[in-house]
């Protein structure tokens, strides 16, 4: 059950040492939420470590403190540390950081599939981003948001609602974003950094788009990232799904990505279908219109299993 905003503030006041983390394959919301909260806590004189069990896409490195997000191997904590899990539904989503947790856990998240695992939680599935929750908390606490925090939190919100285009965008989402702009966030600079891509990445797009597959009377679009295709794209393939979800008539878009011989990473997006439920069939989750899972099967098998579940749900 959720604590109140004031109870959450009291938890932050109670601890001097905090380890912040977020989900593996970190997206804009995961990184922006960590950095926004990091900025505030550091400003309060707290000792804060940010850790993610994954590499950070270069495009996020323009944000202040982004270079300080470390890997689990570099972290040493003891039971006097509070662990703050941001934008993640359960401990399975934070990889090896789960093994470092020395004491109490606070979870701030907006996923409908949240497992309610923490000692204190603040889970609001109607919010478009964890960054939107943090901004609302700072507002409630009358905490000062400096321009660096504002950039990070704006980036968190904007990336999770497709820059205010997805169905999760509400009046509240826009009001929180507006407040961040008033506090110094720079929408144009953030967009420029996130959109900028090396020429090789743009060239890779032509190769990726040749691999689009359609199913279910062209209402389902899919991309399979085989090891061969990953040679063109590199590991960070998260944006390609946004191209195929725009195909006219497509309701569900998915990608499957080779991780190793019997491990495939799946992403799902939809206009009407509940993809959280589809990801749930395979032990994953997320949101009704954006979800993911990992399937312990080879790429082709996993693709067939996903397509079958999508066609059932249509």
Tell whether residue 28 is a contact of ligand 5GP (CB under 6 A): no
Q: Does 89 bind ligand 5GP (CB under 6 A)?
A: yes
Give residues 61-100 in contact with Mn ion (rule: CB under 5 A).
Answer: 87
Among 24, 25, 29, 251, binds Mn ion (CB under 5 A): 29
Give the residue from 207, 290, 203, 283 showing the smallest Cα distance to 255.
Answer: 290
Nearer to ligand 5GP, 173 or 294 (CB): 294
Of 57 and 160, nearer to Mn ion (C-beta) is 160
Contact present, 119 and 101 (Cβ < 8 Å): no
C-alpha distances in angstroms, 83 versus 78, 119, 227? Answer: 10, 10, 36
Q: Which is nearer to Mn ion, 266 or 291 (CB)?
A: 291
Q: Three-state DSSP class for 260?
A: strand
Identify what 113 binds: ligand 5GP, Mn ion, none; CB under 5 to 8 Å per kind: ligand 5GP
When asked if residue 221 is in the footprint of ligand 5GP (CB under 6 A), the reply is no
Q: What is the smallest separation between the CB atom of 2 and ligand 5GP, expressed in angstroms?
A: 18
Q: What are phi and psi of 241, to 5 degrees?
A: -60, -25
**Contact at 8 Å (CB) between 45 and 69?**
no
170 vs 127: CA distance, rounded Å: 8
Q: Per rule CB under 6 A, is residue 286 in the interface with ligand 5GP? A: yes
Question: Distance of CA 1 to CAs 5, 47, 84, 115, 119, Å?
Answer: 13, 28, 16, 11, 10
Q: How far is CA 206 from the centre of its chain?
A: 26
Looking only at residues 102 through 131 of this chain, which bind Mn ion when binding is defined by CB under 5 A?
Answer: 130
Decide: is 54 part of the binding site for Mn ion (CB under 5 A): no
Binding to Mn ion by residue 160, rule CB under 5 A? Answer: yes
Binding test (CB under 6 A) with ligand 5GP, winner from 237, 285, 299, 307: 285
The strand pairing partners of 224, in sequence order, are 256
User: Binding residues for ligand 5GP, per CB under 6 A?
Assistant: 23, 25, 27, 89, 93, 111, 113, 238, 267, 284-287, 290-294
Residues that bind Mn ion (CB under 5 A): 29, 87, 130, 160
């Amino acid at each position: 059950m959720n604590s109140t905003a004031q109870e959450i503030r009291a938890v932050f006041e109670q601890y001097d040492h905090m380890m912040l983390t977020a989900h593996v394959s970190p997206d804009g919301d995961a990184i922006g939420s960590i950095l926004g909260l990091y900025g505030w806590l550091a400003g309060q004189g707290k000792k804060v470590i940010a850790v993610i069990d994954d590499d950070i896409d270069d495009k996020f490195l323009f944000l202040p403190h982004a270079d300080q997000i470390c890997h689990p191997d570099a972290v040493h904590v003891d039971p006097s540390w509070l662990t703050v899990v941001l934008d993640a539904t359960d401990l399975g989503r934070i990889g090896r950081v789960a093994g470092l947790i020395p004491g109490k856990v606070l979870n701030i998240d907006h996923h409908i599939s949240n497992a309610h695992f923490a000692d204190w939680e603040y889970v609001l599935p109607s919010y478009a981003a964890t960054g939107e929750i943090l901004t609302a908390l700072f507002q409630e606490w009358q905490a000062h948001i400096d321009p660096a925090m504002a950039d990070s939190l704006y980036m968190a919100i904007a990336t999770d609602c497709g820059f205010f285009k997805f169905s999760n965008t509400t009046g509240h989402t826009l009001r929180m974003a507006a407040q961040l702009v008033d506090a110094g966030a720079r929408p144009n600079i953030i967009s420029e950094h996130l959109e900028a891509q090396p020429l090789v990445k743009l060239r890779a797009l032509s190769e990726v788009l040749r691999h689009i597959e359609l199913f279910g009377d062209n209402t389902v679009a899919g991309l399979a990232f085989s090891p061969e295709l990953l040679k063109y794209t590199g590991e960070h393939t998260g944006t390609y799904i946004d191209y195929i979800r725009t195909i006219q008539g497509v309701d569900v878009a998915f990608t499957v990505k080779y991780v190793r011989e019997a491990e495939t990473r799946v992403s799902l997006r939809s206009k009407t279908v509940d993809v959280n439920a589809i990801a749930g069939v395979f032990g994953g989750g997320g949101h009704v219109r954006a979800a993911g899972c990992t399937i312990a099967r080879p790429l082709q098998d996993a693709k067939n299993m996903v397509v079958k579940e999508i066609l059932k749900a249509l």
